[in-house]
Amino acid sequence: MNDKIQVITKHALNKSDETRIKTLTSRALAAKHTLESGSGAGNDFLGWLHLPTSIDEKHLQDIENSAAQLRKDCEFVITIGIGGSYLGAKCVIEALSDHFAAYKPGGTKVLFAGSNIGEDYLYDLMDLVRGHKFGIIVISKSGTTTEPGIAFRLFKDMLEKQEGKEFAMRNIIAVTDAHRGALRGLATQEGYVTYVIPDDVGGRFSVLTPVGLLPIAVAGFDIRALVAGAVEMERDGDEQILNYAIARNVLYQNGKKIEILANFTPRLHYVAEWWKQLYGESEGKQHKGIFPASVDFTTDLHSMGQWIQDGERTIFETVLSVGDQQHEVTIPADEKDLDGLNYIAGKNVDYVNKMAELGTRVAHVDGGVPNLIITMPAVTERYLGQLIYFFEKACGVSGYMLGVNPFDQPGVEDYKRNMFALLNKPGYEEQSAAIRARLKM
């Protein structure tokens, strides 16, 4: 097996696509040049492009030292952020963690808040950490985003009352703007250790900044291997990156408007959640863009499988296909064989899973669902680093191929303006009256 992320397109494209492939290959090369030369829209947010190779030893050591401090003092560390300020860290931590680590003693547990406004969620999390030593990683460029702002106010107050100001100062770390914003001001005032979110890196591209690296290190994983994998893809990944960007745009022009990221490995659920934000927020503009969706197989074969097999033919699948598993579990023989499974006795569970994957891919292709395949040798820090950078650069290329700015998100602001008006935030009085009239409240 190759020692790097690979893209297989033969089950998605065919001879009838050759002219379109040729045209879009030229467009992809032009988009790649636009991206790398910094001459396109959003070029003030390209700090992620050469980020892996710019990370130095001192930076990694500083992050590891901060993580060690939190692990020494805390049973729990609550990472507070929303969107790219938490999804990248969560996808890597969930991919590398023991599936049932939360139920096993020992080790500092990394928890997440600020990604929703669920009152019961916050209550339950506060109830969990009450009486236990916990720390906080708060991630926000401005410090005024509503969801993480509420969570940080709650948990900061709780921590200071429970453990005292000195403990809180030592175990609250702020990842924020270098110079500006409410959180930067508070961190300076309170004496928190801080890390910088680079001005030229947007949230959904920030996994390899302290936004992602610090929580991942607190969870006990090897951030050096993660960065090393991303370096490999930055230096030698363009062929695979272009293959993916070209193929998905050929399929889009063929009328495939929905991309379903499918996996047969439960560890990858949050990788798909991160991917959905990356592509949805980057490409969904000017009434353009492939809609990103995801499924966890074989679980979702028993729910979404029917629609994928026989529903409207506006979809294609991108299958994350993992080579090696971390452990082996062999299916035993049973003398009575009442469940009829003796025909696979002696096989590893992963062998059965891989046959399910192959069978599903054949069925879906036969049913008119093109399948792109991304092979991943194993779920490790190194290969996750490769995958993260692969998806990021392919997203930049693909966005420019579509003719949109992949690095802004103007539509995200619309709900915020309405929410602020309905909450009577100062400065939104005029909008409040208009919205309430529309809603007949």
Domains and CATH numbers, the chain: 6-39+231-402 (3.40.50.10490), 51-226 (3.40.50.10490)
Q: Is 416 assigned a catalytic role? A: yes
Q: Rounded distance, CA 261 to CA 269, Å?
A: 10
Q: Rounded distance, CA 157 to CA 437, Å?
A: 37
pLDDT at site 416: 76
Helix (H, G, I), strand (E, B) or coil at 292: strand
Name the phi and psi angles at 223, rounded to 5.
-70, -20
Query: What is the tens place of the pLDDT at every residue in 106-116?
Result: 899 999 999 99
Query: What is the tens place of the pLDDT at every residue in 287-324?
Result: 999 999 999 999 999 999 999 999 999 999 999 999 99
Contact 38, 32 (CB under 8 A): no
Consecutive H or E run containing 320: strand 315-324
368: pLDDT strictly greater than 90: yes
pLDDT at site 177: 93
The CA dihedral of 429, 432, 437, 441, to the nearest 10 degrees, is: -120
Query: What is the tens place of the pLDDT at every residue in 385-398?
Result: 999 999 999 999 99
Of 236, 254, 285, nearest to 393 by C-alpha is 236
pTM, full prediction: 0.94
Q: What angle do CA 184, 213, 90 make, to 5 degrees?
A: 100
Query: What is the tens place of the pLDDT at every residue in 186-222?
Result: 999 999 999 999 999 999 999 999 999 999 999 999 9
Q: Rounded distance, CA 270 to CA 268, Å?
A: 6
Per-residue pLDDT averaged across 149-156, rounded?
Answer: 96
Amino acid at 259: E
Q: What angle do CA 98, 79, 54 make, to 5 degrees?
A: 90
Count the Cβ atoms, other than its own, within 10 Å of residue 38.
Answer: 11
pLDDT at site 424: 75
Contact 283, 404 (CB under 8 A): yes
Contact 69, 170 (CB under 8 A): yes
User: Which residue among 163, 234, 281, 381 is the active-site one?
Assistant: 281
Contact 214, 173 (CB under 8 A): yes
pLDDT at site 173: 97
Q: Is 302 assigned a catalytic role? A: yes
Contact 109, 100 (CB under 8 A): no
Query: What is the tens place of the pLDDT at every residue in 52-102?
Result: 999 999 999 999 999 999 999 999 999 999 998 899 999 999 999 999 998
Q: What percent of the chain has pLDDT over 90?
A: 89
The chain-wide mean pLDDT, for the chain, equals 95
Token pair for 8 = 């297989």
User: Which residue among 15, 99, 287, 302 is the active-site one?
Assistant: 302
Per-residue pLDDT averaged across 239-266, rounded?
Answer: 97
Query: What is the tens place of the pLDDT at every residue in 21-48?
Result: 999 999 999 999 999 999 999 999 999 9
User: Which residue among 33, 161, 288, 416 is the active-site one?
Assistant: 416
Count the Cβ atoms, other than its own, within 10 Å of residue 242.
Answer: 21
Q: Is 179 assigned a catalytic role? A: no
